[in-house]
A = this chain, B = another copy of it.
Amino acid sequence: MSIYDELKFNDDGLIPAIIQEQSTRRVLMMAWMNRASIEKTIASGKTHFWSRSRQKFWMKGETSGHTQTVKDIAFDCDGDTLLVQVEQTGAACHEGYKSCFFRSVEPDGKSFRTTEPPLEMPEEINGKK
């Protein structure tokens, strides 16, 4: 049985992919894949996504060098979400943070705080584009 018999894509042909750093178990980001980007991710060993805003296929780190080497691809009971274990080079977030999840809700339930310093300045990353 193939994974493609189990996976359920949404009406746009997409499935969300949670990216986790295998060594630290840190959740780095969430992005969308279509079938072609899953196949490319598996074949190349580097994460490839579908950009909904740009309607474009992209390899993570293709301009910044912040690639993700794939270690494992899991999928959930409903087959509608992927969990990809990776080895991350540099910052996963385009704003220079290791993880895109660098802000947390405060105890008041409304305000929020930044929970870590950036690894790099966004200009450095953008400059590499």
- Measuring CB to CB, which residues of chain A are less than 8 angstroms from any residue of chain B? 1-4, 6, 16, 18, 20, 24-27, 29-30, 39, 42-43, 72-78, 81, 83, 93-95, 97, 100-105, 109-112, 115
Contact of A16 among B4, B30, B75, B110 (CB under 8 A): B30
Extra pairs beyond A27-B83, A74-B102, A77-B95 (17, CB < 8 Å): A1-B112, A2-B110, A2-B111, A3-B111, A16-B16, A25-B26, A30-B81, A39-B109, A42-B109, A43-B109, A72-B104, A74-B103, A74-B104, A75-B101, A75-B103, A75-B104, A77-B93
A2 to B, closest residue via Cβ: B110
Q: Which chain B positions have C-beta within 8 A of A109?
A: 39, 42-43
